[in-house]
Amino acid sequence: MNSFKVQYTIDGEDFSVAGEASRKLKKVLQSLGVDPQIIRKATVAMYEGEINMVIHADGGVIDAEITPEKIHLFLRDKGPGIPDIALAMTEGFSTASDNVRELGFGAGMGLPNMEKYTDYMNIITEIGVGTTIEMIVNTSLS
Amino acid sequence: MKLKKVVELLDANILNDCYSQDTEVLSACGCDLMSDVLAFVKDQALLLTGLVNPQVVRTAEMMDMKAIVFVRGKTPGEEIIELANEAGIAVLSTEHPLYHSCGVLYSEGLYK
Ligand SMILES: Nc1ncnc2c1ncn2[C@@H]1O[C@H](COP(=O)(O)OP(=O)(O)OP(=O)(O)O)[C@@H](O)[C@H]1O
Ligand SMILES: [Mg+2]
């Protein structure tokens, strides 16, 4: 397997399709024969990030690159940015509205889950400009 | 625990064709907050929830869960059933509330 790249556009307006890109990546990884445990880690992390792009930003773009060694994810949005990353990373911290909570999100567990399931995560954010989250899940060494 | 037993214990309705009575579930998670479900790492799990939307199925799919039980008589729409069919996840519904449903399964041996 050489390097494989896919890009997904995330619609920030339509919550009902939030998570579809992660489902698609899961199918791609399955077709490439990636280990199921690794697929779960990578797609759960991407799913949390994808949902965040819909509920906290206005959608965006996700780039995934799959190599024999790793799954590399870039999630970019042009949302409001994250004022305090350390606070946002705290389990239970959430600014989600009641509407979002009624949809089953807003536990404040998304970013901690993303960190837990990935081997590397980096957040670059600027208020009023947007947020880019880079995540890596290693595939060869587990 | 076999799904057949889950259906019996919860007087559940079977809502799609992905149900197989011999499917084995080894753990269960009763929750309405999807990120709490996503924090839970168990194999061959069952999800019990009172939340009805497509993210319930996508969440279960990301976690490789085997079946979803919608509690308190909630009935999912066609779109949700369709997503579950694509994911190969069995969909059940029960009139019992979440706490009761979890309690019954736990007391009958689904501890994890
Ligand atoms: N892409 C983003 N743009 C702007 N703010 C974000 C973004 N992602 C996360 N946040 C902020 O960080 C907080 C914590 O995010 P996290 O994903 O951990 O929790 P949540 O989305 O609120 O709830 P959960 O993920 O449990 O459903 C959010 O409530 C929000 O304030
Ligand atoms: Mg989140």
Give me the count of residues in chain B.
112
Interface check for A107 against chain B (CB to CB < 8 A): the answer is yes
Mean pLDDT of chain B: 95
Q: How far is the CA of A34 from the centre of ligand 2 (A)?
A: 26
pLDDT in tens, B7-61: 999 999 999 999 999 999 999 999 999 999 999 878 899 999 999 999 999 999 9
The Cα B11–Cα B2 span in angstroms is: 14
Q: Which residues contact A4 (CB under 8 A, 6 or more apart)?
A: A28, A32, A65, A66, A67
pLDDT value at A46 more than 90: yes
| Stated pTM of the model | 0.96
Question: How many Cα atoms are found within 13 Å in the side-chain-facing hemisphere of A83?
Answer: 3
The torsion region of residue B73 among left (phi > 0), alpha (psi -120 to 50) and beta comes to left
Average pLDDT score over residue span B72-93? 96
Q: Could you say which residues from 56 to 85 on chain A have a Cβ atom under 8 Å away from some Cβ of chain B?
A: none
- Which residues on chain A are in Cβ contact (under 8 Å) with B56? 104
Reference B70, options B50, B55, B85; nearest CA is: B50
Q: A4-138: which CATH architecture?
A: 2-Layer Sandwich (3.30)
- What domains can you pick out in chain B, each with its CATH number? 3-107 (3.40.1390.20)
State if residue A95 touches ligand 1 by the CB under 6 angstroms criterion: yes
A19 lines ligand 1 (CB under 6 A): no
Tell me: pLDDT of A1 over 50.
yes
Residue A89's identity, in one-letter code, is M
Where are the domains positioned within chain A? 4-138
Lookup: tokens for A112 = 């901690």
Residue A142 has pLDDT above 50, yes or no: no
Q: What pLDDT digit, counting tens, does each position of A114-138 carry? A: 999 999 999 999 999 999 999 999 9
Q: Is A64 in the pocket of ligand 1 (CB under 6 A)?
A: no
- Is A116 in Cβ contact with B62 (below 8 Å)? no
Contact call for B53 and A16, based on CB within 8 A: yes
State how far the Cα of A22 lies from the Cα of A132, in Å rounded to an integer.
17
| 3-state SS record for B51-99 | CCCHHHHHHHHHCCCCEEEECCCCCCCHHHHHHHHHHCCEEEECCCCHH
User: Could you identify the residue written with the tokens 């976690």?
Assistant: B63
> Residue-wise over A35-56: b if at least 16 C-beta within 10 A, else e?
eeebbbbbbbbbbbbbbbbbbb
CA distance B10 to chain A (A): 23
Strand partners, B69: B48, B92
Which residues lie below 8 Å from residue A64, measured CB to CB, with a gap of 6+?
A5, A6, A7, A8, A25, A28, A46, A71, A72, A73, A74
**Could you tell me what percent of chain A has a pLDDT over 90?**
96
> Strand pairing partners for A77?
A60, A131
Q: Confirm if A135 and B61 have CB atoms less than 8 A apart.
A: no
Q: Which letter does DSSP use for residue B11 in this model? A: T
Give ipTM to 2 decimals.
0.92
Q: Order of strands, edge to edge, in the sheet holding A130-138?
A: A4-11, A59-66, A70-77, A130-138, A120-126
